[in-house]
Amino acid sequence: MNHLASKYFLFLYLILPLVIYFFLKRKKASVNFPTVRYIKQSLGDSKIVRYIPLSLRVIALSLIIFALARPQHGRTYERVTTKGIDIVLVIDVSGSMAAIDLQPKNRLQAAINVADEFIRDRGNDRIGLVAFAKYAYIQCPLTANHAILLGQLHRLHMGMIEDGTAIGLGLSSAVNSLKNSKAKSKVVILLTDGRNNAGEIDPLTAGEIASALGIKVYTIGVGSRSEVLFPYKVPGLGTRYIKMKSDVDEKTLTKIADETGGIYFRADNTEALKNIYKKIDNMEKTKIIVKKRSVYKELYAKYLILALIFLLLEFFVSKLIINRIV
């Protein structure tokens, strides 16, 4: 990105015509000779040679003015103070996430896709990833290396953990990985589609811990409110679907969110899920301290050197080739 730091100096170009006028009008140092008018009549004026010094001088002057305007080549670095916020995404990988009410494929895939987008949007934050079903595992600790994080995210699949829904464990794992964080704002985004039915920690207790550590928990309940289709495999017959009502423990999720200063969202379709992440993204954005620092390389030297070359050339032409008697 190139720009001019003191672009008002460019107004000096306005006086350039005056300078040219002055140079043209000014009588040049010359040798007196009696018959010049007759020579002029028969030889004519060698205009090209005559204007070379002037042109060189004008070019040099233009370059100097341009150098005065301080042309810079700069890069704006946005991430200089990496004091963004720390976010841990907690994603439910229990069997119920296979419901196809959210597209593409199923709830889990939709959640992964949306989380992917979310991570890419938050380039300045450290983000971690926790997956849970019957147990909870930290898939990726808080990191600024989003490439690895995204890799881990896409490795999530159903069946990687024994079936069950240990919301309390998931949340507490997230809280655990955030507890040493020195970020100003610590956020957990908890995504689930069921009710706590495993693990030794009650979701509410985990919520209290989070609240005590100053961690904000956004909770997202996934699943359509009507009956949804779950796939199941029948040996020899392929995949069949069964109608089931999804059961999100909205009460507990709301309570956790309220207690920690977060918000509970209900996502009954893909679009809604996307919007929720966007909303969280926006809400947390205000607290990010993004310091922009621009590092510029001054380019004026190039122009000045060029101007100098032209001036030297002018000097050569006018003093050595065109003899001026001064």
Return residues touching other proteins (CB under 8 A): 27-40, 42-43, 45-46, 49-50, 321-325
The answer to whether residues 94 and 165 touch, using CB atoms and an 8 Å cutoff, is: yes
What is the b/e burial string over 8-45, where b = at least 16 CB atoms within 10 angstroms of the residue's CB? ebeebeeeeeeeeeeeeeeeeeeeeeeeeeeeeeeeee
The answer to whether residues 184 and 157 touch, using CB atoms and an 8 Å cutoff, is: no
Q: Closest distance between other proteins and the C-beta of residue 24, in Å?
A: 11
Tokens representing 251 are 């009460």
The set of residues, in sequence order, having a beta carbon less than 8 Å from that of 112 and lying 6+ positions away, is 91, 153, 154, 156
The answer to whether residues 104 and 161 touch, using CB atoms and an 8 Å cutoff, is: no
The answer to whether residues 123 and 84 touch, using CB atoms and an 8 Å cutoff, is: no
The set of residues, in sequence order, having a beta carbon less than 8 Å from that of 217 and lying 6+ positions away, is 171, 187, 188, 189, 190, 207, 210, 256, 257, 260, 262
Q: Closest distance between other proteins and the C-beta of residue 5, in Å?
A: 41
Residue 67, strand partner residues: none
Q: Closest distance between other proteins and the C-beta of residue 25, in Å?
A: 12
| 234 vs 320, beta carbon nearer other proteins | 320
| 80 vs 322, beta carbon nearer other proteins | 322
Q: Closest distance between other proteins and the C-beta of residue 41, in Å?
A: 10
| 242 vs 321, beta carbon nearer other proteins | 321
The set of residues, in sequence order, having a beta carbon less than 8 Å from that of 129 and lying 6+ positions away, is 88, 89, 91, 138, 139, 140, 149, 152, 153
Q: Closest distance between other proteins and the C-beta of residue 27, in Å?
A: 7
Q: Closest distance between other proteins and the C-beta of residue 316, in Å?
A: 12
Tokens representing 132 are 């849970």
| 26 vs 182, beta carbon nearer other proteins | 26
| 40 vs 251, beta carbon nearer other proteins | 40
Q: How far apart are CA 93 and CA 131, in angstroms?
A: 6
| 252 vs 318, beta carbon nearer other proteins | 318
| 51 vs 232, beta carbon nearer other proteins | 51
Q: Closest distance between other proteins and the C-beta of residue 51, in Å?
A: 9
